[in-house]
């Protein structure tokens, strides 16, 4: 099952923001209740955000690379198609002259 790249990008972006908001709210409520906030509690959420950001960055790097390769391949295809058309026209011209 192939999932369009744009769909993946949208899902990552939609998931990342609510997690950030939730973590901010949890930390804010915890601080206002005057409960000591330990590093592991906030660290776990920040770790998830950090991981998502790394995935997002890597994804966009790979996306750019793939789009460049696709563009190069399309350009090569266009050049080959144009060369083939020229060769066919040359052959037709030669066949007409010999007929």
Would the pLDDT of 38 be above 50?
no
Rg (CA), the chain: 28
Give pLDDT tens digits for 54-97: 888 888 888 888 889 999 999 999 999 999 999 998 888 777 76
The pLDDT value given to residue 35:
45
The alpha carbon of 85 is separated from its chain's Cα centroid by a whole number of angstroms, namely 35
**Whole-prediction pTM:** 0.45
Q: What is the pLDDT of residue 92?
A: 83
Nearest to 60 by CA among 52, 49, 71: 52
């Amino acid at each position: 099952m192939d999932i369009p790249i744009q769909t993946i990008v949208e899902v990552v972006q939609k998931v990342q923001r609510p997690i950030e908001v939730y973590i901010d709210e949890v930390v804010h409520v915890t601080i206002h209740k005057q409960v000591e906030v330990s590093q592991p509690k906030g660290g776990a959420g920040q770790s998830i955000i950090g991981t998502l950001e790394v995935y997002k960055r890597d994804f966009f790097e790979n996306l750019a690379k793939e789009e460049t390769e696709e563009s190069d391949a399309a350009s090569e295809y266009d050049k080959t198609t144009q060369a083939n058309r020229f060769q066919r026209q040359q052959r037709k011209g030669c066949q007409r002259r010999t007929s």
